[in-house]
Amino acid sequence: MIGALFLLAQALLYFGVMALLLRLRAQLGIGVFVCAIGVMHFLETYLAAVFFIRLPFGLISPGSTVMFTGKLAMILLLYIKADAETVRQPIYGLLVGNCLMVALAAILRLYSPVAMPGYNPDLHLLSQLGALMVWGTALLFVDSIGLILLYERLGQWLADRFWVRASLALIATLSFDQVLFFTGLHLVTAAPPMALWGGWLAKVAAALVYSALLGFYLKHVEAVTPAADSNEPMSDLFGKLTYRHRYEALVEQSGIDALTGVGDRKRFETIAEAGIARALAERRPLSLAIIDVDHFKAINDRHGHVMGDEALRRIAAALKGSIRSDDHVFRYGGEEFIVLCEGMPHETALAHAERLRQAVPAAFEGTLDQPPTVSIGVATAPDDGANVVELVHHADLHLYEAKRGGRNRVVGNEIGKAAAPRRQPVARSS
């Protein structure tokens, strides 16, 4: 009985202080809360390895029962009051810090320290604790993700019963953790099997207590309606907890031209090669239009490079707004763009390119006295080429023909039928 009261007192103290730090996050910053969790991690692991008390159902450690269960409860509370991206900060910080501690301890063991009266450093114990801390933090990473995903999943059935929902999520997560952490603990410290069974029962009881404390906090300290929790898809939530969404964002953004927001040349080459291969295999046409801004240097000379950059952005937007949903726009280099159109025969591509040509000056209506125009060369696979190099070369020849013919026009294989509109006055390029 005394042992149980001892653990309950520790749990109340732990939760009270950590909840207060979380409550004051707007004034103190979330870093205070995160640092407190990190500082407690060493004591938690040390007690879990060497400090046990005996209860009728087995051996238990305050480090594992009170502090680790409390840490998971606080992570769940942090998720409820903040978001998944905030939750992962202490988890990754603990993992990196523990790995660093193990590495530093390993280096220290290469040297013999100066003997001090009354005490000699126990680096072997530090190494043992370091291994347990790394193992425990790796489990914490999995535990935290599993806890939050399970909590959200249970919300589909228990949205209005927070205590049951939180208790079940904590008990399931702690059961998983107890088996794996005890395995590492037994290998490092030869902890007896009684610690496995006793620790699990104690964690179940602690989960019930902490869930009640969480419910009290959310009702009386920072009121929140449990049913109003995150409705994010599980895949999105998992991505935020693991940084996967940032990786996917980087992958998605790679190959994007920084100035105009359309695809860059490298992305064009990749997509075009795949598109041509499909076109050849399916015996379908693929058309490509190279678009060059006429007298672009004159825009820079007359209005400055800032306006020149803005002109390129507007042109890119005009092209994107004039293509089909399956077409692609790329900035090929400088003031040149490429539009890739799968499944489009050459005659249709010429008409499509004419719409693109008209869209460019229309995008500058009312802003420039001499709106920019474009010349366009069109080529179609497989007739004009069976790979990217051949297709671009053929479109380039038509683009040069459009330039020689007076600019601001579309030229393709059927040159006689190519659009040749009345030229608008433009400044001459040097």
92 lies in the same domain as 150: yes
Q: Specify whether the CB–CB gap between 133 and 119 falls below 8 A.
A: no
Q: Is 305's pLDDT higher than 70?
A: yes
Residue 426 is predicted with a pLDDT of 37
Ranking 98-107, 148-157, 158-167, 274-283 by mean pLDDT, the lowest is 98-107
Per-residue model confidence as pLDDT tens digits over 19-29: 999 888 878 88
Which contacts (CB < 8 Å, 24+ apart) does range 261-265 have? 261/313, 261/316, 261/317, 262/316, 262/319, 262/320, 262/329, 262/330, 262/331, 262/337, 263/328, 263/329, 263/330, 263/331, 264/330, 264/331, 265/330, 265/331, 265/332, 265/333
- Please give the average per-residue pLDDT across 154-181, as a whole number: 90
Residue 424 falls inside a structural domain: no
Which runs of consecutive H residues, i.e. helices, occur in 190-264? 194-216, 234-242, 244-253
Please check whether residue 428 lies inside any domain of the structure. no
What is the percent of the chain with per-residue pLDDT over 90, rounded to a whole number? 40
Residue 6 lies in a domain: yes
Range of the domain at 304: 254-417
Tell me the pLDDT tens digit for each residue of 377-413. 999 999 999 999 999 999 999 999 999 999 999 999 8
Residues 209 and 301 in one domain: no
Are 84 and 219 spatial neighbours (Cβ–Cβ below 8 Å)?
no
Poorest-pLDDT segment among 75-89, 198-212, 302-316, 382-396:
75-89
- Clarify whether residues 222 and 259 are in a common domain: no
In a domain? residue 276: yes
Residues 227 and 260 in one domain: no
Q: Do 138 and 59 share a structural domain?
A: yes
Residue in the structure block whose two tokens are 């608008």: 424
Residue 423 pLDDT > 70: no
Question: What's the number of domains the chain is made of?
Answer: 2
Higher pLDDT, 287 or 105: 287
Whether residue 226 contacts residue 218, with contact meaning beta carbons closer than 8 Å, is answered with yes
Mean pLDDT of 346-361: 95
Q: Is residue 263 part of a domain?
A: yes
Tell me the β-bridge partners of 55: 58
Q: What is the mean pLDDT of the chain?
A: 83
Are 134 and 99 in contact by the 8 Å Cβ rule? The answer is yes
Q: What is the side-by-side order of every strand in the sheet holding 374-381?
A: 328-333, 336-342, 286-293, 374-381, 410-411
Residues 36, 169 share a domain: yes
Helix (H, G, I), strand (E, B) or coil at 333: strand
Confidence band for 210, pLDDT divided at 50, 70 and 90: very high
- Which residues does residue 289 pair with via DSSP β-bridges, in sequence order? 339, 378
Q: Indicate the range of 31-45, 239-253, 260-274, 289-303 predicted with least confidence.
A: 239-253
Percent of the chain with pLDDT over 70: 85
Which one-letter amino acid corresponds to residue 228? A
Mean pLDDT of 32-39: 85
Interatomic CA distance for residues 265 and 243, integer angstroms: 28
- Judge if 241 and 262 occupy the same domain: no
208 compared with 181, residue with greater pLDDT: 208
Task: List, in sequence order, the alpha helices (H) in 62-122.
Answer: 62, 69-81, 84-108
Please say whether the beta carbons of 315 and 363 come within 8 A. Answer: yes
Examine the domain organization and report whether 347 and 238 are in the same domain. no
How much is the pLDDT for 424? 40
SS3 of 181, please? helix
pTM: 0.53
Mean pLDDT: which of 78-92, 127-141, 168-182 is highest?
168-182
User: Residue 136: is its pLDDT beyond 90?
Assistant: no
pLDDT at 319: 96
Q: Are residues 213 and 72 in the same domain?
A: yes
Domain boundary among 250, 279, 305: 250
pLDDT tens for each residue of 251-291: 455 688 889 989 999 889 989 999 999 999 999 999 999 99
Residue 187 burial (CB count, 10 A): 12
Q: What is the CA radius of gyration of the chain?
A: 33
Whether 355 and 238 map to the same domain: the answer is no
* Tokens describing residue 59: 């051996």
Looking at 250, 284, 304, the residue that finishes a domain is 250
Q: In this predicted model, what pLDDT tens digit does every residue of 76-85 receive, in sequence order?
A: 888 888 766 6
Residue 178: Cβ-neighbour burial (10 angstroms; 0-12, 13-18, 19+): buried
Residue 422 lies in a domain: no
427 domain residue, yes or no: no
Confidence of residue 422 (pLDDT cuts 50, 70, 90): very low
* pLDDT score at 229: 45
Are residue 277 and residue 171 in the same domain, yes or no?
no
- Under the banding of pLDDT at 50, 70 and 90, the label for residue 417 is very low
Cβ count within 10 A of residue 4:
14
Q: With bands split at pLDDT 50, 70 and 90, how would you rate the model's confidence at 331?
A: very high
Angle between helix axes 84-108 and 123-158 (nearest 10 degrees) is 170
Which residues are within 8 A (CB) of 387 and not within 5 positions of it... i.e. 6 or more apart? 273, 276
Structure tokens that stand for 324 in this block: 């089909």
CATH of the domain at 359: 3.30.70.270
| Boundary-marking domain end, from 203, 234, 250 | 250
Specify if 430 maps to a domain. Answer: no
Residue with tokens 């993992």: 95
291 plus 377 within the same structural domain: yes
Residue 286 amino acid letter: L
